[in-house]
Amino acid sequence: MTPDSTTTGTARLGWALVLISVAQLMVVLDSTIANIALPYIKVDLGFSDSGLTWVVTGYALAFGGLLLLGGRLGDLYGRRKVFMAGLVIFAVASLLGGIAASEPILLAARGLQGLGAALASPAALALITTTFPAGPARNRAFAVYAAMSGAGAAVGLILGGWLTGSSLDILGAHIDGWRMTFLINVPIGIIAASLAPRVFAESESHPGELDIPGALTGTFGLLGLVYGLSRAAQEGWTDTVTIASLVAGVGLLVLFGFIESRAEHPLLPFRIFLNRTRAASFVAMMLMPAAMFSMFFYLSLYIQNVMGYSPLQAGFAFLPFSAGIIVSAALSSNLINRVDPRYLAGTGTLMAGTALFGFSRLPYDTTFPTSNVTGHYATDILPFIILMSLGMGMVFVPLTLTAVHHVRAEDSGIGSGVLNTMQQVGGALGLATLATVATHVWHGTGERLASAAEKAAALAPPGQQAPSAEKLQAMQTVAQHQVFTDGATTAFLFGTGMMLVASLIVWLFLDVKHAELATDGPPAA
């Protein structure tokens, strides 16, 4: 190979890594970029409380529920083609979300964004394998991909905070800041899709049976479960629609398992779970996002609603998370050559669980001067954000490696798809579950405060002067803060439990050695 061809090949690999990184960052950060804008979306479009949760959950569910199908379509019809289609769909959905004038349109746009992400993300992961040669180049590409996956959620909060706090006037039309969190994806997605043919070679098409029944039953089964959990948060567990949705979801997932066990080309071959280390990695990677979503969702609302931070301030409050997870992931990439993944991931989960427990101790009364509020962030929030980022960085790298370690060649795309599916569906189910917990606590705390206020008023001495309007407003604000914080901290406590279960699974079942991860080939007999 001549020097010129070597330079050209290196440049092409560099651009390929840029496109894959941009695509992965875009689809991951969209799981949280709207979090900062939620209060503004609620006011502007008249969202209900349950609908507001679906702005986050709807995207995660569509993304996770369709990932396996997206990976399969890439195998059948060409990964570059499916990658480009996913980016275009994502861009169009983002445009629809940016101009949405009602709750149904925005939620539909979020679902369509999830479809585009489900097509682009597994294809991007597969393109790393087919584009980058085995060895250092491919390892670096996987490391960057993992970094984008880990830091994307926090980057979304920062970018969402900046965009939500701004606005734009185009041709006399005023665009609210929260809409920019969607519209920014449009040019990025279109440009990335147009550049893809220049840096990626198309993979061969392999005709085969597309498992449509499996895709439909699996997706709608998960949808039924999450909808049932979300509705239970508002209507209770005895609500007829809640029960029907949960029963239908479980039934469809049972049918999905029956179909997959008999399909010639199953969407999810069960042999992928037969390796104990790989199965443990999948389960742990499902529980961890379920717990981590509680941090991003409830902490972003706490920082704004209770502490009074602006959207931009709230976004920058999460900046240490992005920096910490990148540093920790880089460190873990070096340590994995000398330390078994069990010790890295196990320690990381314990650190993350400790951080979530710290968040469960957050105070509710922050109605004091700004200087004290700043101190409240520095003492009660910042240490646990840093601890969480360091812990998650220590988890993502080793578990990503063990999840795809020695997967059979014909299952490599499926293994990556299962890993991404576990992360996204785990986040959706976790948020729905924690929302149910938080809402139950909100109702109970609100009722107790109202009862206490009524008793205090009844016992007040006759002729006592009524509190001023300002004092009543201050009392009401403190009460609202207490109600919200009680629910959020309880969600954090449940998230702590999820993270500790993930840690237990890692310590007990993740028994692959670091030396084995350096080999490439079929699994040992």
pLDDT tens across the length of the chain (525 residues):
444 445 556 677 788 888 888 888 888 778 777 777 787 888 888 887 767 778 877 887 788 778 878 887 887 788 888 899 999 999 999 999 988 888 889 999 999 999 999 898 888 877 877 777 655 666 677 777 777 776 776 677 777 777 776 766 665 566 777 888 888 889 989 999 998 888 887 766 666 667 888 888 987 887 787 777 767 656 667 789 889 988 998 999 899 999 988 888 787 778 888 888 888 998 998 888 878 777 877 888 888 888 888 777 877 888 888 888 888 887 887 788 788 889 999 999 999 999 999 999 888 764 443 444 545 888 889 999 999 999 988 888 788 778 777 766 556 666 777 877 787 777 767 777 787 788 778 777 666 666 555 555 555 555 555 555 666 566 666 777 788 888 888 889 999 999 999 999 999 999 888 777 666 555 544
The whole-number pLDDT of residue 138 equals 66
Q: What does the alpha-carbon distance between residue 503 and residue 350 come to, in Å, rounded to a whole number? A: 6
Closest to 257 in 3D by CA, of 210, 222, 206, 282: 222
Cβ–Cβ < 8 Å for 425, 64: yes
Q: What does the alpha-carbon distance between residue 362 and residue 513 come to, in Å, rounded to a whole number? A: 39
- Please write the tens of the pLDDT for every residue from 196-238: 888 887 766 666 667 888 888 987 887 787 777 767 656 667 7
The whole-number pLDDT of residue 388 equals 94
The whole-number pLDDT of residue 434 equals 82
The whole-number pLDDT of residue 353 equals 95
Give SS3 for 308.
coil
In this prediction the pTM is 0.77
The whole-number pLDDT of residue 8 equals 55
Q: Tokens in use for 333?
A: 């990439």
Q: How many residues does the chain have?
A: 525
**Sheet strands (E) in 145-292:** 168-170, 173-175
Q: What does the alpha-carbon distance between residue 14 and residue 322 come to, in Å, rounded to a whole number? A: 23
What topology is assigned to 273-454+472-525 in CATH? Growth Hormone; Chain: A; (1.20.1250)
Superfamily designation of domain 1-206: MFS general substrate transporter like domains (1.20.1250.20)
On the question of a common fold for 1-206 and 273-454+472-525, the answer reads: yes
Cβ–Cβ < 8 Å for 117, 87: no
The whole-number pLDDT of residue 94 equals 92
Domain range list for the chain: 1-206, 211-264, 273-454+472-525
Q: What does the alpha-carbon distance between residue 433 and residue 437 come to, in Å, rounded to a whole number? A: 6
Query: Beta-carbon neighbour count of residue 472 at 10 Å?
Result: 11
DSSP 309: -
Helices (H), 318-411: 319-335, 341-359, 370-380, 382-404
Give Cβ neighbours of residue 94 (< 8 Å, ≥ 6 apart).
109, 113, 182, 183, 184, 185, 186, 189
- Please write the tens of the pLDDT for every residue from 322-376: 888 888 887 887 788 788 889 999 999 999 999 999 999 888 764 443 444 545 8
The whole-number pLDDT of residue 497 equals 93
Cβ–Cβ < 8 Å for 324, 393: yes
Q: What does the alpha-carbon distance between residue 78 and residue 72 come to, in Å, rounded to a whole number? A: 10
